[in-house]
Structure 1
Amino acid sequence: MTRSAAPDGTASWPPPALDPAGPFAEPLHTLSWVLFGMGLIVTLIVVAALAVALFGPRRWRDRLGGRKLIWIGGLAFPVVVLSGLLIYGLGLTSHLTQEPEPGEMRIRVTGEMWWWRVAYLDGEGREAFQDANELHIPTGQPVVLELDSADVIHSFWVPRLAGKVDMIPGRRNLMRIQADAPGAFGGQCAEYCGGPHALMGLVVVAHAPADYQAWLARQSQPAATVAIPMPGMQVFQRAGCGACHTVAGTVFNGQAGPDLSHVGSRRTLGAGILPNNQGTLAGWISDSQAIKPGNRMPAYPVLTGQELRDVSAWLESLK
């Protein structure tokens, strides 16, 4: 049996929501099967009642249409079943959104139109550095996500690691994720947020603890190539890209768009919709609107082919 859907969107079995990869997805997996089972039971009861109403003996049909059975089947039964499922579900998942405990790792994820701003927080809750459209976590350790939105309502969903939690402007919601083994887990905005909502994906990358510490050390410092004169850096400056994007170690400090300090090390572009390489970088810079219509990055048809190759090579080097 193959594993669930990969971050590139390829389909496989079982579906991600039914293939938990961490302890905070397990309760939702259990709840899903309970709901499926109860739904099947209710469906069988309804089908049986319909069969009696159509083909059963007259005495059974008369009893089926009696006032007492209508009160029981039409009111008491749904109230008891739905109330029981609600109480069971709330009890099963109540620990998923508790306040952070001392020492727990925290990451703040902000939904933007239509990408994800990711801020890694230190032990005091202060921002250490930013990333975009990817979350990196150590395996075997719970991570508290602080979820909010900069514009409209979004919804954070990585099916194999946790359930859906809405991201609401002006409000901080919490959720916990944890991966039991290294791997990449695809996610998606699960609340329609206008425009290219369907193209607002993300990837959660789980590392072995030692590998995560090495990744963290690299991300905490500017990329090595920012100190090397490259033609692409001049193109980036002339095009005004630094007005929207930050590159650590340079004068570029824009906040409107994703932080590009280590963009070359990311797996995807455009919030999970393209593989990240020099060719896709050049295509995205040239005309991102043709790839993801409605996103907030303008096209740059004024750049020549050589300029696109230069700037994409520089960005790819930022690792």
Structure 2
Amino acid sequence: MPTETQLKAVLGGWPPAVLNPAGPYSEPVTLLAWALLIGGTVVLAIVLAALAVALWGAPSLRRRLGGDRAIWIGGIAFPVVVLTALLVWGLWLTGDLAAKAPRPGEMRVRITGEMWWWRVAYLDESGRTVIRDANELHVPVGSTVLLELDSADVIHSFWVPRLAGKMNMIPGRRNLLRIQADQPGTFGGQCAEYCGGPHALMGFAVVAHTPESFDRWRASRLAARPASVTSRGQELFMASGCAACHTIAGTQAAGLAGPDLTHVGSRRTLGAGILPNNRGTLAGWIADSQTIKPGNRMPNYKQLDARELNALADYLAGLK
């Protein structure tokens, strides 16, 4: 299993920093969280003080603070006023976070939660997919990005704490969420709704580029992919049945059940955010993914010997 240091290196911090906003759509959520935390602490202190008076206070003090008046003020008026004020303020504070229809020229990305990984599709203005990826999202700094959140099976929940609040992904329904990163970097996320099996190992990464860097990244993904040069690793990929679940552009691999692997070598993580991506972890994941992420839908390939694993890992690591 990966160490916390390894995950911090590839995800920019793990577990995600939930009270350290890095964009305008996470700041209201963080402010509300602090208000609730501080308010809850104050209420707890008042309750503990009242309990102390009831148990150990002088009889005269208990008589002065007790009775019907204390019940009406402390038991009814106080919670009604405080909770109503918090509700109204919270709704006002987060009212702009509910995303509606796409804005003209706005970047759109469709993210589909699956057991137990994330399908990512970058859309053009007409809603057609122009770039396919998995388990990470690339965005330009300072620009709002509209996320269209779907689920292919059960309820998932998309949550990148430093960029936005969480949003459920419900089968048969598309929810919208806007995010924006105000600084370059990598921001870790996590499925926040129990979805069975290895739910806790369903991570995500958002990579925020400077506008120039993002334009280069996007151009590289849109560029026509040259014809693939056959290698031992590619032969093994096709012969072992990998192409039945995975797509690699420029080859005959066109499976849709698993993540698109056209650019798998350039991703920061494997297994949906649980392993740093390198040649060694690729070989380990192929050979024994069920030990690394028990219950995931990729079978082990222990029938491959060391040379075959190395050839396959070399091929996938070269898919940039």
The TM tier, using the shorter chain, reads over 0.9
**Structure 2 partner of 1:114:** 116
**Structure 2 partner of 1:31:** 32
**Structure 2 partner of 1:90:** 91
Give the TM-score normalised by structure 1: 0.93
Unaligned residue ranges in structure 1 (runs of 5+): none
Number of residue pairs aligned between Structure 1 and Structure 2? 312
1:88 offset after TM fit, Å? 1.2
1:137-195 CA distance string (max 9 Å, x none): 00000111111111111111111111111111111111111111110011111111110
| 3-state SS of paired residue (1:204) | strand
- Alignment match of 1:136 (pick from 129, 135, 138): 138
When structure 1 is superposed on structure 2, of 46-55 and 149-158 the one drifting more is 46-55
Unaligned residue ranges in structure 2 (runs of 5+): 1-7
1:301 offset after TM fit, Å? 1.4
1:6 offset after TM fit, Å? 6.0
Tell whether the 8 Å contact from 2:139 to 2:214 is kept in structure 1 after alignment: yes
Tell whether the 8 Å contact from 2:10 to 2:276 is kept in structure 1 after alignment: no
**Structure 1 partner of 2:4:** none
| CA distance in structure 1 between the partners assigned to 2:80 and 2:273 by the alignment | 42
Q: Structure with the greater relative contact order (CA < 8 A, sep ≥ 6): 1 or 2?
A: 2
1:255 offset after TM fit, Å? 0.6
1:70 offset after TM fit, Å? 1.3
> In 2 relative to 1, CA 7–277 (structure 1 residues): closer, same or farther, beyond 3 Å?
closer
**Structure 1 partner of 2:258:** 257
**Structure 1 partner of 2:5:** none
- Alignment match of 2:217 (pick from 215, 218, 232): 215
Tell whether the 8 Å contact from 1:53 to 1:64 is kept in structure 2 after alignment: no
Identity of aligned residues (%): 63
**Structure 2 partner of 1:102:** 104
Tell whether the 8 Å contact from 1:245 to 1:255 is kept in structure 2 after alignment: yes
**Structure 2 partner of 1:48:** 49
- Alignment match of 2:197 (pick from 195, 198, 208): 195
- Alignment match of 1:161 (pick from 163, 183, 187): 163
**C-alpha RMSD of the superposition:** 1.7
**Structure 2 partner of 1:275:** 276
1:235 offset after TM fit, Å? 0.3
> Aligned letter for 2:190?
Q
**Structure 1 partner of 2:3:** none
> Aligned letter for 2:193?
E
Tell whether the 8 Å contact from 1:223 to 1:262 is kept in structure 2 after alignment: no
1:124-145 CA distance string (max 9 Å, x none): 1211121000000000001111
Tell whether the 8 Å contact from 1:148 to 1:171 is kept in structure 2 after alignment: yes
| 3-state SS of paired residue (1:145) | strand
Tell whether the 8 Å contact from 2:11 to 2:186 is kept in structure 1 after alignment: no
1:270-295 CA distance string (max 9 Å, x none): 00111111111111111100110000
Which consecutive segments of 4 or more residues in structure 1 shift more than 4 A? 5-12
1:63 offset after TM fit, Å? 4.1
